[in-house]
Structure 1
Amino acid sequence: MTAFTPSLAARALHAALPAAQAAAGAQHYPKGALYMAATPIGNLADISLRALHVLALADAIACEDTRHTRQLLGAYGVEPRALLAVHQHNEAEGAQAVIARLARGERVAFVSDAGTPAVSDPGARLAAAVRAAGHAIVPLPGASSVTAALSVAGAAGGAQGDDRGFVFAGFMPGKAAARREAIEALAAEPRAVVLLEAPHRIQALAGDLAVLGARAVTVARELTKQFEQIATLPAQELPAWLAADAQRQRGEFALVLHPAPHARAPRAIDEERLLCLLMDELPLKTAARLAAEATGGSRNALYARGLEIRQAKEKAAWR
């Protein structure tokens, strides 16, 4: 959980609320809808004006941690009308409380502790329950460690000469055997893979990722925060990189496992060259058959081409 300490910069954020109301207030915000609002992952300035406006407008804000959210909202000068605790341990029950409010025509916003809700954070079950109950859900996009890490890794969206995309794997299993099994599966994944990890488990994850050898990994630590650090290195070097500086093992981590290199395509076989080589040692019929088997070409076409080559050689010999 990020701690928000009073500062000149934080106090200045209060001025963002009138700006948010001016910039986003003209838009229609339907009642009886759930608003999934992304919040900063570390830097308070990364909230969107629309999210800020809706958080001030909402009849209630459902959140992962009410104390944390009240402190976050206070940094912007937002006084919530009501805060509802909806976290991983009570999400099913909390969803029913949200749905009851939506049925009364209230606007409810949902925020996780940081980043975009329902991405390795609570919110997915809430959204599914609200949708099943027939209420609208409105996304308010913003900060996300997943997309932030991808944007600096250069590992997806055609960077490898194609557009293989990426896979979001989130947190690996906590138990060593299950984690190693999951990483073995990643070794066969040709796309970029985004992982998340906590500081107390980063060394264990790095040790298991080392089996991927030279496959590149971008490590993004403390994204958007004062001590943000981003490095790209071979997976086999990650444990030593972490061990070289104790600071590198602190904070929240997003890692991007770069796409596996394309397997080098087999070199194309020159049908005619192979045919000529075989004809020097074998009867034409046999040479055409073997060349067809080796290249996938047409045996009849190769035989006809062999006849042309042989006739050309015979004519050249008479000259």
Structure 2
Amino acid sequence: MGEFELIERFFRRPAVRSPLGAGDDCALLAPAPGMQLAVSTDMLVEGRHFLSTVDPRRLGHKCLAVNLSDLAACGASPLGFTLSLALPQADAAWLQPFSEGLLALADAHRCELLGGDTTRGPLAISITVFGEVPAGQALLRSGARAGDELWVSGHTGDARAALEVFRGTLSLPAAVFEAARARMETPTPRVALGEALRGIAHAAVDISDGLLGDLGHILRASGVGATLDAGATATLVACGDALEPARRLEFALAGGDDYELAFTAPTAARDAVQAAAAGAGVRVTRIGRIEPGPGLRVLDGEGRPLDLRFGSFDHFAS
């Protein structure tokens, strides 16, 4: 199978938003009047971001989901994406489920495949996603204010638990492992929540490398600090009852691969946050507060700071 047959067979879609679709040297895309473009790129490399044994259908889902999660963190609505694939070989048995998983999620979010590139090489997937957000309403990392409450959507730490099972450092009951594995391999991008938080939240970030590290991006960009409640944070791990307390807290704070949203909002907006979450069909948990002074502190039930000896994932330090 040649390159162009591969594209035609597995990735050709009817043009919707782009008048050219994926068949020219460039795609043409324009936001609606009064909207700004939101653009994000992510690359997934075999052995670094996913295991070689992953179901290709789940991989197709995940590689787009992690990009949609970036749009969600800005409160942006998806428009389209480009796909670049490096493949060891053009294997139809792999490409068919991969494209099905990818395009099913794209269709669910009305996110059009606009084009891309294919080449031979070690398996790697790079996606650039395009979205739109009303001008001046994007959620940014720089908007947190002292006194804001800190919230997290969904669950964190379960993907890390599944990874540790694969690594052989953790044992979980079969049903618990399968649920954690699903959260690792098929994360849910919180697009609807991000859209609903426009005008409510002050700042947001998607959690990809671990809550501690990604929250740190908000604190640095906003020039503030934060205090977290260790007890509330530990409840973020859905499989937490199967973990020792210390690992439960570690996975919640520094697990990575969660693709949930961490966001700040004023106390007066607490009901609005809950209503936005209910409308988006996702739970949110209040885990702390933004402080005027720098630094990030995690407090136990007695209000004492914990001495944490773990951090978030770093591609070049790990």
TM bucket, shorter chain: under 0.3
**TM score, norm. by length of structure 1:** 0.24
**TM score, norm. by length of structure 2:** 0.25
Q: Which has the higher helix share?
A: 1
Larger radius of gyration: 1
Q: Which has the higher strand share?
A: 2
